[in-house]
Amino acid sequence: MICFFFYALWVWALPPQQAAEHPVALAADFDAAQCSECHAEKQQGKHVHSAIAMGCTACHTVETKGETTRIGLTMPAGEICLTCHEQAKAEKDGMLHRPYEQKRCVVCHDPHSSEFTAQTRAPMNALCLACHKERAEVGESVELFAGQKLSGEEFNQIPKIGLDATLKFGHPMGSHKVADAPNPLQAGEKISCLTCHENHAAAREKLIRTTEYKGKKMDVCDACHLANDEANMAEAQKRADELEAQRQKEEQMRSKQPSTMPQKPPRPKDKKP
């Protein structure tokens, strides 16, 4: 009972969530539409989060008392995201990727804007490799993106994959490519971690994708290898057709021109003894 009382007091004193003193004091009647006078970059970039159009106070609290302004979040970061986005559910969508399950959305996504699809904090495959590649040194903590940190202990528990020094091949086996090669399943796209893995949740183990190829659901490995074989076959057929067309053209030319080739002398008849 008493515990609850103090807990309630503590929680009472806490909101607005993690409110920090803003380096600049803002007038008590400051219009949040003006935040971008100093923070314009939050609305700029190749991929701007649609929620930014709803104003900074869709997610931030602003409180000015006397000479200090405190700015925080309306609720913990991950919870904020789930007020507008539905989270996949294990029962329905299969296994969840741990950081997604833990609602660490802002580890991978910038809540405002970024240069990459879905406002990710880094391009593929660097985003995934920040956690899934061994590092030369792991101290108390490792740095992820935008100054975010993960404890060394937590980092060491994450499974790592082995790649060659260029980070282009060596996973899931042999010298299989993971980057910088055309993706036969998506014209114009390159192969990446997301070609084989889901980012949030998957029905199959190890977050392996299920793909559709020519209207049939199948394993991503089979789908891509089929597409690759068919592309190779089509390529081989095209080359064969070209060679045949060229051969026919040459033959036609030859039959039109009087032959200039020296004729072989008639073969002397075998003299039979």
Identify residues 128-167 at the interface with ligand HEC (CB under 6 A).
128-132, 146, 157-159, 161
Of the candidates 15, 16, 25, 87, which one interacts with ligand HEC according to CB under 6 A? 87
Please state, in angstroms and rounded to a whole number, the distance separating the CA atoms of residues 100 and 127: 14
The verdict on 122 binding ligand HEC (CB under 6 A) reads no
The DSSP H or E segment spanning 216 is strand 216-219
Residues with Cβ within 8 Å of residue 63, at least 6 apart in sequence:
16, 19, 69, 70, 71
The verdict on 201 binding ligand HEC (CB under 6 A) reads no
Please state, in angstroms and rounded to a whole number, the distance separating the CA atoms of residues 160 and 211: 25
Tell me the per-residue interface mask from 37 to 66 with ligand HEC, x by CB under 6 A, - otherwise: xxx--xx---x-xxxx-x-x-xxx-x----
Q: Residue 267 region, left (φ>0) first, then alpha (ψ -120 to 50), else beta?
A: beta
Of the candidates 25, 75, 138, 194, which one interacts with ligand HEC according to CB under 6 A? 194
Written as six digits, the tokens of 121 are 């904090």
Of the candidates 114, 142, 195, 201, which one interacts with ligand HEC according to CB under 6 A? 195
The verdict on 111 binding ligand HEC (CB under 6 A) reads yes
Q: Tell whether omega for the bond before 172 is within 30 degrees of 0, i.e. cis.
A: yes
Of the candidates 166, 175, 260, 263, which one interacts with ligand HEC according to CB under 6 A? 175
Of the candidates 63, 94, 176, 218, which one interacts with ligand HEC according to CB under 6 A? 176
In angstroms, give the least distance from the CB of 111 to ligand HEC. Answer: 4
Instruction: Give whichever of 115 and 244 is closer to ligand HEC, judged by the CB atom.
Output: 115
Bridge-partner residues for 142, per DSSP? 150
